[in-house]
Chain A
Amino acid sequence: MNITIEKEKKTFSKDETVNMPKKEKKAVYETKQLNLWYGDNHALKNIDLDIYENEVTAIIGPSGCGKSTYIKTLNRMIELVPGVRTSGEISYRGRNIFDSDYRVEELRTKVGMVFQKPNPFPKSIYENVAYGPKIHGIRDKKILDQIVEKSLRGAAIWDEVKDRLHTNAYGLSGGQQQRLCIARCLAIEPDVILMDEPTSALDPISTLKVEELVQELKKNFSIIIVTHNMQQAARISDKTAFFLNGEVVEYSDTNKIFSNPSDKRTEDYITGRFG
């Protein structure tokens, strides 16, 4: 599935590297010596982490380990929290996102985010999906219709909502709302999708649907998913990073982490001895 609409390519895919052949795994994000403080609280300590394209990277760890903080730093949403300071570097496609001339809106147009709690706008389903394209200047009704349909199909929710596109998004179930939020995110044709515990508020069946969707989406997007559900990480991710107290304890292929962790603390966590 490719949701690029040709007319819009110029608006959305300024970054040429997005469409390069995908033979070798390329790093999307390179994090170097990232530190982050909430006031005096040192929340992230010397993080070094490379994230590769067209993979699902899971971030696991106990509550308060900094995993959500890290993922929110990747699209600089963390800056909405007052009193946050960072040092170090995060390169997205080779460019430091903390550079003063890197417009945060540009970054967030390429890096979509799905939140823990489904957060549709109090608007119709259609308007929710069309919101992103609209604020980026697309007004043509036909193109909007196309984007909305492709995005909803991409998020595997089209068949459920196609007959009520203009009803309030709040009328959907929690799982549907979350897939709508994913569709809304797809509508701006991002390169990376960040998911912050996207299934923690959902029932098991909705969770399964979202997980299947993640598998489907990774063909076209790089996905970084924070989860406190280790089975989920094991099921859907290619690489897993284990965070503890603001540090990356271990980062490698998911298979290796769950079958043969090299750090004792990782082993203790995934076997359920703490956390």
Chain B
Amino acid sequence: MVASDSKSHSHTQTNYEKDQNFEDILKPVYKGKKLTDEINTAEDKWNLLPAFLKVKGLVKQHLDSFNFFVDVDLKKIIKANRLILSDVDPEFYLKFIDIRIGQRSNSSSKDILAPPHECRLRDMTYSAPIYVDIEYTRGRNIVIHRDVEIGKMPIMLRSNKCILNGCDEQMMARLNECPLDPGGYFIVNGTEKVILVQEQLSKNRIIVEADEKKGVVQASVTSSTHERKSKTYVVTKNDKIYLKHNSISEDVPIAIVLKAAGIVSDLEILQLVCGNDSSYQDIFAVNLEEAAKFKIYTQQQALEYIGTKVKTIRKQKLTALQEGIEAIATTVIAHLTVEELDFREKALYIAMMTRRVVMAIHNPKMVDDRDYVGNKRLELAGQLISLLFEDLFKKFTSDFKMSIDKVLKKPNRAMEYDALLSINVHCNNITSGLNRSISTGNWSLKRFKMERAGVTHVLSRLSYISALGMMTRISSQFEKSRKVSGPRALQPSQFGMLCTADTPEGEACGLVKNLALMTHITTDDEEDPIKKLCYVLGVEDISSLDSATIHESYGVHLNGTLVGTTRFPNKFVTQFRDLRRAGKVSAFISIYTNSHQQAVHIATDGGRICRPLIVIEKGKSLVKAEHLRDLLNGDLVFDDFLKLGLVEYLDVNEENDSFIALYEKDITPAMTHLEIEPFTVLGAVAGLIPYPHHNQSPRNTYQCAMGKQAIGAIAYNQFKRIDTLLYLMIYPQQPMVKTKTIELINYDKLPAGQNATVAVMSYSGYDIEDALILNKSSIDRGFGRCETRRKTTTILKRYPNHTQDIIGGMRVDENGKPIWQHEALGPDGLGEVGMKVSSGQIYINKSIPTNTAEGLEAINTQSQYKETPVMYRGPEPSHVDQVMMSVSDNDQALIKVLLRQNRRPELGDKFSSRHGQKGVCGLIVQQEDMPFNDQGINPDIIMNPHGFPSRMTVGKMIELISGKAGVLNGSLEYGTCFGGSKLEEMSKILVDKGFNYSGKDMLYSGITGECLQAYIFFGPIYYQKLKHMVLDKMHARARGPRAVLTRQPTEGRSRDGGLRLGEMERDCVIAYGASQLLLERLMISSDAFEVDVCDKCGLMGYSGWCTTCRSAENIIKMTIPYAAKLLFQELLSMNIAPRLRMENIFQQ
């Protein structure tokens, strides 16, 4: 049968069996329900979600995109640029036949790469060689050379070219990798780099916009091909329609453009643009006069007219006619490049654009929304690298060609020329080009003249969630500084596609988004088979369509281009969808009808967000209990649901063409789809929040920002990592109140927080403004304790004169003991593991040679060294945790020392619950002074009740009740969005265990022993410790360094700077009339400077001598700020003489 066949096929294809990560989730014992229990479709269809994630993974979009690039796109790039011909020797050719990453043609297995963790430690790039097969002429022979390496390609972790692909947990452990790490990033020069998902307006689609104030309507299309990018507009100007393009100097009347594209008769123009609609005809008719005004009647005249307006620079001179042909064929709407004589496709495209403009003029509502998610495309790592690689490859081939030409130009060579000998010279360009772009984030593409900065980011390893959050992040191309609301607003169309809660606050608000949990981003699919399929399904080809009737039936648009028409759009769409559900067409191709435009749109392009939904037929969900049972038994995987047509992917546009039921009980006969789980509207980060549907929405957004700052466990290999800065929690706990998302993303295995017993009450005055009271004994027991690990890297350089940096041993005093500064050092001059390093002590005793110049005298002189030790600075001592010495890529010794600091919570450290309720520690109280309940339980945290009324975080209260019930019941409760453990059930447990249903307890004062006046809301809430800690921020200074230029104290904690008495503080002091204080703060304690001023000329002299007056007669010494003196001198330098006129204030 079909199903079993295809299943076994898919099993052999991927290595699901080995992947143990998701097995537990797939067999959940949820609410006491086991595998053998009855299946309830309405409740249990959520099991599709772990099945989805098992196949897709959390960062599948990145992996898919990269896999697509290395397997498909790369080959296309090679095919498009395969030939190198010589200008000199017409006989010579060199052809790239094939390209592979990390695998030789003859070997069945992949190349063995340096494992990713080694690359991290040794500051190397995790990359695989790029092999090409080359066919070329050597002398008179044609030679095929296989497996020529042309550079190295950085490999995305966990992609199919990565050695971790298909590894089981043991193998991962052996490679020092965390099995929970999602992958999807690169390691370049030892740092983990993520290529953020970029959001863009979709390419090659018509967007119609109107400016109602100016009365302008424009249809624009951004054409993007491998070769070029350009934008074509059809705009209105004075109620007439013109075509606008960057390389055409003037706006061309649309009728002339259409004539140039072969639609010569006015009748046909009118038929194509307006059809039979007389109101459209009225609007458009004036444009026909426009062409007549220019006396343009024939195609040739029109082409010549356009040809004279073109402003491209060419090497070769073309006639106006040729320029016109070139403009119409290639420049305008560049993604439809005409190679032959037939312009019809293009003419129709321009006519369609014009029609859309006319429609928008007629009905202002017929415009497109730029911010609509269906009009957006996401650009992922694979696409971005593909753009970059093609650029580099083109450069590579042109360089290679030049060097070949150089040799071939010489007429008499002794032996026949082997072109391959010189290929190695250029290989480095590809490798370094890729590495440089990924490590700097500067994407410069020559052929598009595009410069983009900030494409890549360092993967934030602050917590597991922050790393995961980064992988699902989408950055927009909009400028952050612009004050526009549209692109930032929450779009209804982002339901289920983009997380509704997870966006930063402040300037990037709404511009940076996150993917929802169950999304897929498409990769490019072939157009041609789909086009063929359309014709088979009865679509009539445009090349044989009559202009008069074209608008009487529905147009079929494939990726924005009209390919034909159909008279029965509904039938066509249904048949197409049936084929897709049958698996005959790729599942990610979307089709939908737009009745306003009378069009059927089919999209096969990459970068569309889509999500799976259950198909409903005849009012019944196709997913039945037996399917779910098979899923739980492991007989079916998610892709089988797809193949069986039970589930299908819909993109935003098709989603809008469907009728989706949220729950099974809501299904009516008209409905087409059913949600798998409503909580997938949230993303991975927002999924941590328990009961988010009870919270005020901004609170969830705040938590999304804070969840990424929470200190916790980051990965199973966290103690093997040497990162620049790492925060780890010593005793992390999984939350009492979980969500399904937490289980799905493995947050329970790598948690970041602890379940604190919270009493919501007031205690002392140290809990105002959200401050928290902490129990000292809790801290002693390890609550909120964390560890910071900081890395120092040193490279021992080699110099051209054969000297190199060295590590000295320790210096000892007269007793043979090391001096204090060197106490932490071992005999090798590096800090010893476990030693304590205090401020001022040295942990790498490095020296560099004084003379590094190359030359004869350098050899003669004895090598001398200057000490450049690495000294520890910090308010608290650290311990040496790890010392690593290795050799980096370029053969220089690399030393990494990891310093560890153990921190317990102190006053001012920041904590937060999972509901956007942050607070700092205001007071640490002895346990005996804390209140206690009947059982003698003290709270870990006391939180002020004023935090609730205005914040309306009801979810937090329910979390407390569920948590308390869980503790009493010995179970973990769920707070999943739109679901989770019911409050009534939780209250029932509380009552059964002898507690109040509302979670309130009677508490006794720890100080007086009397019971408190009110019942106190008391129970466990999951608290996160945030990375902002007082120890890293506290700062004070009496005296210290000053800036060289102004002689004022330096700024900032890192430079031991002063604390500024700013403008507003100054105003206060002035208001008080405290003039002497002002003088002291602003000058004496800052940059007081004594100058000699000449009373006569008013200019400054020096050492009692006025250089202007050439006398010492009228010199007066006075103190002014150095900055003032600097200003005077700077003014002097620009020919302005500021003269001081002095008066004696003590006269009279």
A, B co-complexed? no
Write the residues of chain B forming the contact surface with A, with a CB cutoff of 8 angstroms. Answer: none
